[in-house]
Amino acid sequence: MLPVTFLVALLLAFGIDPPRGGIPASDIGFRVLETIGGIGLIAVCSLGLGIWVTARVSTDRQSASRVRRRYLLATRLLALLSLIVYGWIIHSVGWSRVVQANWGFDGLGVLGDAMVFLPFLVIQGLIWCGQFFAEQALEIRIHAGSGGRLGRYLILRSRQTLGLLMPVVLTFVVRRDLLRPLWPGWDASPMAEPMEIVLLGSMILIAAPIFIRIAWPTRSLPDGSLRRRLERVARRAGFRFTDVLIWDTGGCVLNACVTGILPGFRYVLLTDALLESMSPVEVAAVFGHEIGHIAHRHLLSFGFFFAGSLALLSLIGDGLDRAFLWAGPLVLVPDWMGPEVVDLARESVVLAILGVYFWFVFGYLSRRFERQADVFGSRVVSCEAGDCPPHLDPDREPWDPSDARAGLPLCRGGLRTFAQALAIVAQFNGIDFDRPSWRHGSIAYRIRFLEQLEREPGGERRFEREVLGLRILLAIVMVSAIGAAAWRQFI
Ligand SMILES: [Zn+2]
Ligand SMILES: [Zn+2]
């Protein structure tokens, strides 16, 4: 989802320091020409791709899927080429030097950065133009709402990219233009980095609704029986939110999400396709899954988990350093290899540990949390028969706050409704029921889990106890790791 090409381009422009100082005035014209030449190359390739796809589709309707595969490959290559060209413009042509030193944008902060980044923005715009023509010919609706006009397509793509990139860009700007000038000694403090990560992380979580609203076209769910049903569900679960939004995807995406950690500034998003394909009670179950993540404080737990993991990994890194110091003399490293090879080996081991750790630990935790949210989603809906296990009629109006003591009992009807909603998600998105999913678990597994709860009377309680145990265990490990890492910093 994240625009990786943009991130790499930002890194090329601002991560690696280009040579400083201006270039001779007589040279500037030529450098600008070179820059325009590089951009022109992309324009030719991108529009060429659009024309090629259009021509192939109109002459040979049969091979649409082959053309589509080649088109997707070509867009990847084009992205790679755009990065090579932009890297060349920055580091070889010296565009940033022309902008900063010769044209005097240095010291203008964000404005100067924007000028340095301008060639890439133009390049990206040209690539989108080519993609628009190709995707129209292929009738691909990968990107929300394509199939309209070029201007609309460009605005949609820019909004998506801007909304998703903004947290990264803001983080960078806050660090460089705010933190460093205000506290010149900040960088030297050992606590600077962890503090920054925590501060910026929470800032992004709090501001996420703004980014989401920039990235995707949304509108408020109109008043009606569905909205009132969802509001009742939220009230019974004690969940506060700013609004329920319909996320317009041109009917291509079936999805839901909740964004924002502050109760007063938080949206639940349901896509147009979800509202079209599901019955109101299924929509309520999906809505319940999303608010289940909040009710169980999953986002905060993940934040805490990441902070603890950073501490844990820094301890592991220290341990590795010692191991390498100790084992270094035992291993015969040929002279021509030098210390870089040892460093590289150490870095590779750290990376491998990091990968394995996140794959297993984070994956497992995430899947447990998803199961918990599934159960929560099943709880907010029911068979609506009062005598099933005795539960409240979720649609009884008006709702009496004293009912809250009765909680949200789980019934067969609720479990089946949620399983049905999962099946609709899989069918709509063309997901194989057995396809594994690292963060969520396969659809077949999720449905089996709900069926198991339906069969086993005490299953739900046991599951909730297990998750609680897991969280307590993780909390102990993480708190100890953070404590140990902090202690090492200061001693
Ligand atoms: Zn979820
Ligand atoms: Zn029931």
Residue that wins the pLDDT comparison between 344 and 461: 461
pLDDT at 48 over 80: yes
Residue that wins the pLDDT comparison between 391 and 45: 45
Average pLDDT (355-362) is 90
What is the rounded (10 degree) CA torsion for 314, 315, 317, 320? 180
* Separation of alpha carbons 124 and 101, rounded Å: 25
Cα 381 to middle of ligand 2, angstroms:
8
Q: Which residues pair with 262 in a beta bridge?
A: 265
E strands, 233-352, are 243-247, 256-262, 265-271
| Crossing angle (nearest 10°) for helices 298-327 and 338-357 | 150
Cα 382 to middle of ligand 2, angstroms:
5
Average pLDDT (389-407) is 56
The residue extents of the domains of the chain are 4-140, 298-490
Cα 388 to middle of ligand 2, angstroms:
4
Top-confidence range, 4-8, 411-415, 469-473: 469-473
pLDDT at 404 over 60: no
Cα of first residue to Cα of last residue in the chain, in angstroms, is 42
pLDDT band for position 392 (cuts 50, 70, 90): low
Cα 438 to middle of ligand 1, angstroms:
12
DSSP symbol at 189: S
pLDDT band for position 101 (cuts 50, 70, 90): confident
Q: Which residues pair with 243 in a beta bridge?
A: 267
Residue that wins the pLDDT comparison between 169 and 246: 246
Cα 395 to middle of ligand 2, angstroms:
13
Cα 138 to middle of ligand 2, angstroms:
47
Task: Quote the tokens at residue 135.
Answer: 């995707």
**Residue found under tokens 């099933």:** 388
pTM confidence score: 0.76
Phi, psi of 219 (to 5 degrees): -145, 160
pLDDT at 64 over 90: no
Q: What is the pLDDT of residues 430-485, one digit of tens each?
A: 788 898 888 899 999 999 999 999 998 789 999 999 999 999 999 999 999 989 98
Mean per-residue pLDDT of the chain: 84
Helix ranges, 98-149 (H): 110-138
Q: For position 69, what pLDDT does the model report?
A: 82
pLDDT band for position 49 (cuts 50, 70, 90): very high
Residue that wins the pLDDT comparison between 152 and 119: 119
pLDDT at 290 over 80: yes
**Proximal ligand: closest to the CA of 417:** 2
Cα 401 to middle of ligand 2, angstroms:
20
Per mean pLDDT, which range of 17-26, 331-340, 364-373, 458-467 is the poorest? 331-340
Per mean pLDDT, which range of 246-260, 274-288, 381-395, 425-439 is the poorest? 381-395
| Percent of the chain topping pLDDT 70 | 87
Cα 387 to middle of ligand 2, angstroms:
7
Residue that wins the pLDDT comparison between 107 and 28: 28
Cα 170 to middle of ligand 1, angstroms:
27
**Proximal ligand: closest to the CA of 440:** 1
Cα 289 to middle of ligand 1, angstroms:
6
Cα 208 to middle of ligand 1, angstroms:
17
Cα 290 to middle of ligand 1, angstroms:
6
Cα 403 to middle of ligand 2, angstroms:
16
Q: For position 338, what pLDDT does the model report?
A: 66
**Proximal ligand: closest to the CA of 389:** 2
What residues does the ion ligand 1 have nearby, CB within 5 Å? 370, 373
Phi, psi of 310 (to 5 degrees): -60, -45
Q: Closest Cα to residue 371, out of 424, 442, 425, 449?
A: 449
Average pLDDT (393-401) is 54
Cα 350 to middle of ligand 2, angstroms:
51
Of how many residues is the chain composed? 491
Peptide bond into 263 cis (omega under 30): no
Phi, psi of 290 (to 5 degrees): -65, -45
Cα 384 to middle of ligand 2, angstroms:
6
pLDDT band for position 149 (cuts 50, 70, 90): confident
pLDDT at 144 over 50: no
pLDDT band for position 141 (cuts 50, 70, 90): low
Q: For position 42, what pLDDT does the model report?
A: 94
Q: Which residues contact 246 (CB under 8 A, 6 or more apart)?
A: 218, 219, 220, 221, 269, 270, 271, 272, 275
Average pLDDT (7-25) is 76
Per mean pLDDT, which range of 188-192, 230-234, 270-274 is the poorest? 188-192
Cα 143 to middle of ligand 1, angstroms:
22
Cα 419 to middle of ligand 1, angstroms:
14
The strand pair at 265-271 and 243-247 is best described as parallel
Q: Taking the CB of residue 269, how many other CB atoms lie within 10 A of it?
A: 22
Cα 393 to middle of ligand 2, angstroms:
9
Cα 391 to middle of ligand 2, angstroms:
7
**Proximal ligand: closest to the CA of 394:** 2
Average pLDDT (348-360) is 87
